[in-house]
Structure 1
C-alpha cells in the first residue's frame, strides 16, 4: 500500500466515527473534537507518518487531520444547535472521508484524473448511502432509500466538484459546504415525493440520464472533469426537484451551447474570440451560466415556504436558461463576423472586445432564446404568450450581458460574474413578466 493510499484509508477510518452519531445524539461532535485534541501535540512517530501530508511534514504538525476533525466537529455541533438531521451529518463526513479513499484506490491502479474523480463520487455516494441506512436503523426510523440515494449522490457530486477544483486538501471547506447544501437538499427533497417506492424511477432515471450526458460531454471535450461533475449535479437536481421537463430545458442549453462553441473553433481561435481549453467548459463557466437557473429551481421546490407562486419560479428558470443560450450563441456566432460595435456607444471595435455585438450575433442569440421558449411550450405547456415572455426574458438577459461586459467586465467582475448577472437578469425578467401578465 503506497503512502497516499494508506493516508486516505486512515482518514476514512476517522470519518467512520460519524457512525456513532445515532447513539451519541446531540453529542455527535464529541469523537471528532477528541481527535483534534489528540492530534494537536503529534509532531512525529508512526501516527504522524500515517496521517501527515507533504504540507504537514514541512510544518511538522498534523494540520490536515486537525482541520478535518475540527470541521467535522463544527458540522456535528449543528445537530444539537440547529437540528441538523443525524443522517445528513453521517452522510457528509463519510462521503468526504471515503470519497478520497475511492479516488486514491483508482489512482493506485491508473493515473487518470477523470477516473479518479469518478472513484471519489461513486465510493463516497455508496458509503454515504450505507451510513444513512445504518443511522436510520439505529434510530428506528423508516427506510427511505430513494431519498437517501438522492442525498448521497448529490452530496458526493458537490464534494467531487469541490475536490476537483481545489488542488490541495481543503477538507474543512469541503465538509462545511457539503453539509449545508446536503441539509438544503434534504429539506427540499420531500417536495419531490422521494419517500415512496414509486420515486425510485425518478431518482434512478435521473442518475442514469445525467451521468450519460455528463460522460458524452466529457468524451467530446465539451467540459472539463469539474464541469462534467457540475453538469451531472445540475441535471440530477433538475429532474428530482423539478421534473423531466426542467432537465430537457437545461440539457438543451448544454447541448446546443457546446456544439456552437465547437463550431469553427479554429477560426475563432485565430481571431482571438475562442473559449479557453479548446472549448471545454469548467465549473466556473457552467455555474456562471446556470447558477441563476439553479436558484429558481430551488425556490420552485420550496415554493410552499417562500413568496410567489411555483409558476413564477418556472418562468424565472426558463428566462435564465434562455439568457444563457442566447448569450452563448450571440458570442460564439457573432465572434465569427467583422465590424462588431460596442453596445454602449455603437462605435466599431475589435472582435472579442467586451460588450461588442454584431447583428449576426444578435439574431443567433434571439434564435437560442426562441428555442428555449419553444421547448417550454412542450414541456411546461406554456401558452404563446408564455413563450413570448421567455423570448423577451432571454433578449433582456442577453442585452444585460453586453452592457455588463462593456461597463463592468475586467476591473470589476470577470466573465463568469457577467454571465451570472446576465442570467439573473433574464430570470428576474421572466418571473416579473409572468406576474405582470398574470401568467403566474
Structure 2
C-alpha cells in the first residue's frame, strides 16, 4: 500500500480517537500488520480496507476518497480506464433511452437549392458542409418510410447524431439509415466504447431503421472505402463526398454519378459486418440487474445498483414477490438460474431500472437489454465485435474484486438502515 493512502488512514484513525491496537483487534489483524499497512511497507487488500472503513464508521465521501486512492494502485491501468468508460456508457444510455429530448431547431443551410443548374459544386468550410448535409438529410427524411441514407461519417462530428435524434422526435416513420463505421482493432488506440454508446442509442430508436456496419481501419475494406473518399453521404438525390479534414466537399446530383456511388457503397456494405443486432423480447415486470455475467445456462453473477437494495429487502419479506429478474432469454426458462448477487456502491451507476448489460461467456456476446416502462417494451441490442466483447469480459472479471462492489458488511448496514427507515426508526 502506498504511503498516501496510509497517511490518509492515519488522519481518519486520529479523528475517530482510536488506537492502532483497538482498530487492529476490530478488523481482525495483528497490530504490526496494520502498522505495516499504514506505513506502506505492506499491501493492504480490499477486504481489510473495507473492514477498516466499517470499524471507523466513515462517511460516504471519506469512503469514496479511500476507494479512489486504492484503485489508483491497481496494476492494470487499461482495465481501470475501460471500467470508468463502461460506467459512463451505462449511465448515459440509461438516462436517455426512456426520455423524450426536445431537440432545438437550428437554421438549415439550404445552399443545395443553388445546384439546380450544375452537375457538381465544391463547398468549402465545415459549417457550410454540415449545413449541406443537414439540408439533404431533412429533405430525404421527408420521404418517410421510403427515405434511405448511406453514410460513412465518423460520429466525432456530433451534429450527425443530433440530427438523427431530432428527426426521430418529429417524424412518425423515418426510413433507413445505413452507417459504415471504422473501428480500431488495437488496444493502445482505444476501446471503441464512445462509438458504441452512440450506435446503441441510435439503434434503440423505434421509428428509424438504423443499420450500423463496421470495418477495421487499415484493412483492405478501408482501401476500398478510400476509393470513394474517407467521408461520404448519399441520399436518393444527392451524393456528398467530403475530405478527411471536413474542410472541403463536392455535392453531385447527376444520376449517373449517384448510381455509381450507390452501387459502390452497397458493395462495401456487403464486405462490412453488422455492428449491433436488435431483437424484441416479451415484456416482463422484473427488476433487472445493472450488469450480469452468465457463465452457463444456469449459472450467473449479477451486479445490482445500490438503489436496488430495497428489491432484495422486498423479496426476503415477500418470497412470492418478483425480485431481481434472472433472465429474458428463452434458453434459461427450462431451469432455475442460480445466481450470486453483488451490490455496486452508491453512485457508481444511476437508476438501474432501464438497462441491463449482460455478457454471455460461452457465446462471447454482449447484450444491452433496454426497458421502456412507458410503453412496456423491451429491446435486446446484441454486440459480437470481439474487441468490445473482450473489454466487457475483462471488466466483469475485474468487477467482483474491485472497489466498485460493496463489502458484505456494507450491504448488511445498508439493509439495516433501509429497514429502520421503513419501520420509522432513525437509521444508524
TM-score, normalization by structure 1: 0.24
Structure with more helix by fraction: 1
- Report which of the two structures shows the higher radius of gyration computed on alpha carbons: 2
Structure with more strand by fraction: 2
| Greater RCO (CA < 8 Å, at least 6 residues apart) | 2
